[in-house]
A and B are shown apart, each in its own frame.
Chain A
Amino acid sequence: MIQPQTLLNVADNSGARELMCIRIIGAGNPRYAHIGDVIVAVIKEAVPNMPLERSEVIRAVIVRTCKELKRDNGIIIRYDDNAAVVIDQEGNPKGTRVFGAIPRELRQLNFTKIVSLAPEVL
């Protein structure tokens, strides 16, 4: 349940370290964002000497939340942190590597590049 002002870890090597959500993309004024939703975020902390810098406004897709993700077969998954992957306008990740576990639902939402880079797909 990510909302504006939420700080998120970054799960790739695009250069950002921490993002703050400022808006959730979607129709109907969504209150919260879950796994698989695209958000607009500002970079609060960045790794030096990388293409992305601090206080840049970028888009990201949420890949891990502390709020549980429910599946139809009764399995519920809950991560220990909130994390996102920085993407561009088309939905392709800006980084070349992805860290941490990625849930399987991203594949249905056409983020196949992220899923293929993931070290572990849950």
Chain B
Amino acid sequence: MQSIWRCLRGSGCHLSKSLICSGGKAESHLKHFLGNEFNLYGFKALSSNGISQSANSGANFLIRSMTTSINPETSDGQDTSPSTPEVVHPPWIKFKRLDKTARHIMNILDKEAVEQVRAEREIPAIEPGYIIQLKVEVPENKRRVSSLKGIVIATRNAGLNSTFRLRRLVAGVGVESVFPLYSPNIKEMKVLEKKKVRRAKLYYLRDRMNPLKK
């Protein structure tokens, strides 16, 4: 058992310790890899016939990746494993490349912001071809809520910055407006009708619905 520790310790991967601990339950560990924290106490449950299995499987799992606990910002809890009877390693936290970590964190922040807005307001699903009625609050106009009605000709999905393009006829002039989907100025959104379209972007309507074109 100690020889296994030494040969894997030499490779420098501090995760090997915890992987050996849970080597007996390797398959289930891999399935829950992305969801759970590592079980550092599995060492105690390792049986004698599980040692030979762990020698091979542990070596397969020398994965150079970051720890995937639920909350990645507190992922430096790896060095808080109390009950290892072996040599105490110096706390070495290994992270992914900084730009990958940052992108991951930005994705999580984005999702949280979207959920927060969705919890406050009911925002229906918007696809191109829907006819929509909006109630928009205009702060310059002394907080008057104006109602707009038009057809959605394009949507752009970008997390919190998702936008949709609305085309309508205003006083005889065609106007297209791009609205952020999660804007606090949009007070209410209602889908009136759904037209069948075979495109994601309906820019051909500019030629067809243009009252000013001669």
Q: Which positions in A face B, CB cutoff 8 Å?
A: 9, 64, 68, 73-81, 83, 99-101, 104, 107, 119-122
Contacts and interface: CB of A to CB of B under 8 A. Distances in A.
Given A81-B212, A101-B170, A75 B177 contact: yes
A75 B179 contact: yes
B115 to A, nearest CB: 20
B185 A81 contact: no
B166 to A, nearest CB: 10
A80 B183 contact: no
A120 B169 CA distance: 11
A95 B157 CA distance: 44
A100 B179 CA distance: 21
A74 B136 CA distance: 13
A101 B141 CA distance: 15
Nearest to B185: A73
A100 B177 CA distance: 16
B51 to A, nearest CB: 61
A80 B179 contact: no
A76 B210 contact: no
Contacts of A107: 140
Q: How large is the interface on B (under 10, 10 to 19, 20 to 34, 35 or more residues)?
A: 20 to 34
Contacts of B91: none
Most buried by A among B174, B178, B180: B178
Contacts, number: 60
Given A73-B185, A74-B183, A80 B210 contact: yes
Interface in B169-211: 170-180, 183, 185, 206, 210
Contacts of B206: 80
Contacts of A83: 173
A120 B185 CA distance: 19
Contacts of A68: 178
- Interface pairs A-B: 3 shortest CB-CB: A80-B174, A76-B178, A101-B170
Contacts of A100: 170-173
Given A80-B210, A80-B212, A81-B212, A101 B177 contact: no
Contacts of B173: 64, 79-81, 83, 100-101
Nearest to B180: A74
A74 B173 CA distance: 22
A30 to B, nearest CB: 25
A101 B175 contact: yes
Contacts of A74: 163, 179-180, 183
A76 B173 CA distance: 16
8 contacts: A73-B139, A78-B177, A79-B176, A80-B173, A80-B212, A101-B171, A120-B170, A122-B175
Nearest to B206: A80
Interface in B14-65: none
Contacts of A99: 171-172
Contacts of B163: 74
Interface in B108-145: 138-141
Contacts of B139: 73
A81 B206 CA distance: 11
B196 to A, nearest CB: 24
